[in-house]
Structure 1
């Protein structure tokens, strides 16, 4: 293959350099090299040994980015890429989904606390019933094993 500056002559028509592909997605070239090193990308090489990426590679980079935005790590992405089996895919994704559900629940609890603080009419947020309930729930769930759980008094409005 010979570069013409517009593309690559011969079977490499539509191929782009690592710099062009990285720029298309706003990535540093070292990211693409790393993805190649961990087995996620498999660029062809031109006669000079330079990486060349085609339309399938563009799709692959977009797929990797979407999966990373969904919270998947490179190892998980590589495992998913290596299988077309539905059962295996479910085995790979099940713990990821469980972890995501836990993070969503934690974020929802944080939002509830913040909104409760914003909506509280008391000068001292610790006097808000919502705050008192959240603190009571937290202290009740943290009682050492074998010790009785004491109900925390919930402040009134």
Structure 2
């Protein structure tokens, strides 16, 4: 199949994708190996990417900054049509779930922070009512003395 000049112009080499996205070529190859982005091979067996891959890479990088596992990013990207640049509407749909997860993690971290403030300075982390390491003083049931808190 012959490609016209317009189609050839729209495609990017792996080096161009890397340069425009600020990533290493190896990262682009890694994302492709995980099925997060796709390329085609030209007659010279070189990878060529549609311009839509730049937006997909941007989505991947934002999701990674949010702590979203790549497997979950892949599931989300699989809901998008191939060879079409993700739109703002697509992003709103993809990010809605991630926002809820991020809010839940933030809430957990705030609770942890507040619990840490309650025992700061105690030094032992096993005092009665320690919410971080000894909630409800469960270690007291084992008697006096040191205990291995994290057996793993």
User: Does TM, scored on the shorter chain, surpass 0.5?
Assistant: yes
- CA shift, 1:40, in A, is 1.2
Q: In structure 1, which of residues 113, 133, 136 is the aligned counterpart of residue 129 of structure 2?
A: 136
Alpha-carbon distance between aligned partners in 1 of 2:128 and 2:51, rounded to the nearest angstrom: 54
The runs of 5 or more residues in structure 2 that have no matched partner are 81-92, 142-152
Higher relative contact order structure (alpha carbons within 8 Å, sequence separation ≥ 6): 2
Alpha-carbon distance between aligned partners in 1 of 2:137 and 2:103, rounded to the nearest angstrom: 23
Q: Is the 8 A contact 2:128 2:137 kept in 1?
A: no
Q: Does 1:60 align with 2:56?
A: yes
Alpha-carbon distance between aligned partners in 2 of 1:140 and 1:74, rounded to the nearest angstrom: 34
- CA shift, 1:29, in A, is 0.8
Name the counterpart of 1:121: none
Name the counterpart of 1:79: 75
User: 2:138 is paired with a residue of what secondary structure?
Assistant: coil
TM-score scaled to structure 2, two decimals? 0.58
- CA shift, 1:105, in A, is 3.7
The runs of 5 or more residues in structure 1 that have no matched partner are 3-7, 118-124, 127-133, 148-157
The verdict on how the C-alpha distance between 1:115 and 1:75 changes in structure 2, with shifts beyond 3 A counting, is same
Q: What does the per-residue CA deviation read over 1:9-28, in whole Å, with 9 as the maximum and x for residues that have no partner?
A: 44221322111211222211
Q: Does 1:108 align with 2:101?
A: no
List structure 1 runs of 4+ shifted beyond 3 angstroms.
109-117, 139-142
Q: In structure 2, which of residues 42, 66, 73 is the aligned counterpart of residue 70 of structure 1?
A: 66
User: 2:76 is paired with a residue of what secondary structure?
Assistant: helix
Q: CA RMSD in A?
A: 4.0
Alpha-carbon distance between aligned partners in 1 of 2:38 and 2:135, rounded to the nearest angstrom: 53
Q: In structure 2, which of residues 30, 34, 58 is the aligned counterpart of residue 38 of structure 1?
A: 34
The count of aligned residue pairs is 120
Larger radius of gyration: 1
- CA shift, 1:33, in A, is 0.8
The verdict on how the C-alpha distance between 1:111 and 1:15 changes in structure 2, with shifts beyond 3 A counting, is same
